[in-house]
Amino acid sequence: MTNTSSSARCSYYLVLAMSLSLLGRVLTAQAQPSSVGVTKPSAVEAISTKAGPKAVQNPSTEIIPPTPISPLPANQVEKTQIIPPPHNTQAAIAPVPGAEREVLTDVCPPDAVSAPDMSRADTYKDMPFQPGEESRYILKYGLLKVHVGYGFMRVQAPTKYNMAIARKDGSIVQEGRWHRVFSAEAYTGDWYKMIFAGHDTMQAFSHPWDFGVTKFYISQNEEKPFVRRFHAEKWLDFDHVSCLVHERTVDHKKKKESIGDHFLQPAAVDALGAIFKLRTYTWELNKTERILVYTSEKNWWLEATPIAVETLTTKVGTFRAFKLAVKTYLGKELQQRGKLFLWVAADHPNHLMLKVEGEVTFGSIYLELDRYTPGAS
């Protein structure tokens, strides 16, 4: 895959994959291309044109990633091993709220990150989102705001999952911890398939104490007329103690598998989890909040600054909302080329993400909340 096609894939995926659910992939791709894809519909209510693809039968079904498929034959496997430097007692670079933006280096801090053993009942305690929540967004593209599809963001029930834990004696063990589980799905509609057809799903397991990601899965299906169909899956396992991401990608069309290890900044959040984390802040005008994110083999900063309070009307209702200016950085270098804004409900108890709009390398993007089902605590 060329850098150009990879970058275009990442950018287009912002429109189709819940905008910010893959914000990191898209925006970092504008400066440093990576491989991501696009998305397709679950059969939604009839629209003014057609219903969504027949392949998806139930838009409310939770996305559960399948068990990784068996390894491909050795002669079809491409392996890359990128091993980070060993622990260095000189470098502890965990993000400090309010501090100047750190330059991220591939050096693992000596102090292991904390992993408190929280109960299932505390997994979503005091969060503005609860299991069973589903938000649906209309996805539009270009200056004319052409309706290209739908996107969903969902909150799933707590799941206990094994992760690397550092003991006081210095040993590292695998122990179960309760995780929040977030999922997203996006797709183009049948009415748009002569230009582009796509369907992507993703799921993330997130620490309830710091939003750090333990497990991430994405499935990508996309197709353009007269162009080879693209179908790939990716599994990521995160070891915050050893600062490693174990990645396995399968390109089903080419029947190739890629396996590799990449450097992880401890406590980094995945792009999907970052969107939910943005809903947890008590926003103040002109006060920037930032999140350390890992996507596409990169550790980077997402910064969000409330620049206005506006009244916003959607199909879900009318809200007083903070307008956030969103920027991404690799170290101190701004990565994005266009402006991106996100609106979060200020007074609604669930702090809903109401709208996203902005410009990226391929054009204008737009999405707006048009259906919301709250979860149950």
Give residue-wise pLDDT tens across range 320-354. Answer: 999 999 988 877 777 766 788 999 999 999 999 99
Q: Show the tokens assigned to 124.
A: 């979503």
For 14, the enclosing helix (H) or strand (E) is helix 3-16
Positive or negative, the CA dihedral 248, 361, 277, 151 is negative
The pLDDT value given to residue 149? 86
Name the one residue in this structure whose structure tokens are 């990879």: 6
SS3 content of the chain, % helix, strand, coil (to 5): 10, 45, 45
Name the one residue in this structure whose structure tokens are 């280096």: 105
Give residue-wise pLDDT tens across range 169-205. Answer: 888 999 999 999 999 998 887 776 777 778 889 999 9
pLDDT grade for 140, boundaries at 50, 70 and 90: confident
The pLDDT value given to residue 102? 65
C-alpha–C-alpha distance, residues 101 and 352, integer Å: 28
Q: Show the tokens assigned to 15.
A: 């429109």
List the beta bridge partners of residue 218.
202, 234
Q: Show the tokens assigned to 158.
A: 């707590």
**DSSP code at position 222:** E
Residue type, 209: W
C-alpha–C-alpha distance, residues 183 and 227, integer Å: 29
The pLDDT value given to residue 96? 39
**DSSP code at position 104:** P
Res. 318: pLDDT tops 80 = yes
Say if CB 13 and CB 34 are below 8 A apart.
Answer: no
Q: What is the 3-state secondary structure (H, E, C) of 133-150?
A: CEEEEEEEECCCCEEEEE
Q: Show the tokens assigned to 370.
A: 């048009």
Name the one residue in this structure whose structure tokens are 């997402």: 302
By DSSP bridging, strand 77-79 and strand 134-141 are unpaired
For the chain, first and last CA: distance in Å? 44
Residue type, 161: Y
Q: How many Cα atoms occupy the beta-carbon half-sphere of 124 within 13 Å?
A: 20
pTM: 0.77
Give residue-wise pLDDT tens across range 239-276. Answer: 999 999 999 999 998 889 999 999 999 999 998 999 99
C-alpha–C-alpha distance, residues 114 and 211, integer Å: 12
pLDDT grade for 145, boundaries at 50, 70 and 90: confident
3 state DSSP class of 192: helix
Q: Which residues fall within 8 angstroms of residue 307, CB to CB, at 6 or more apart? A: 285, 286, 323, 324, 325
Res. 109: pLDDT tops 70 = yes
Cβ-count burial of 354 within 10 angstroms (0-12 exposed, 13-18 middle, 19+ buried)? buried
Q: How many Cα atoms occupy the beta-carbon half-sphere of 118 within 13 Å?
A: 21
List the beta bridge partners of residue 364.
359
Cβ-count burial of 72 within 10 angstroms (0-12 exposed, 13-18 middle, 19+ buried)? middle
Q: pLDDT > 90: what percent of the chain? A: 47
What counts of helices (H) and strands (E) characterise the chain? 3, 16
Lowest mean pLDDT among 88-92, 302-306, 364-368: 88-92
C-alpha–C-alpha distance, residues 239 and 217, integer Å: 15
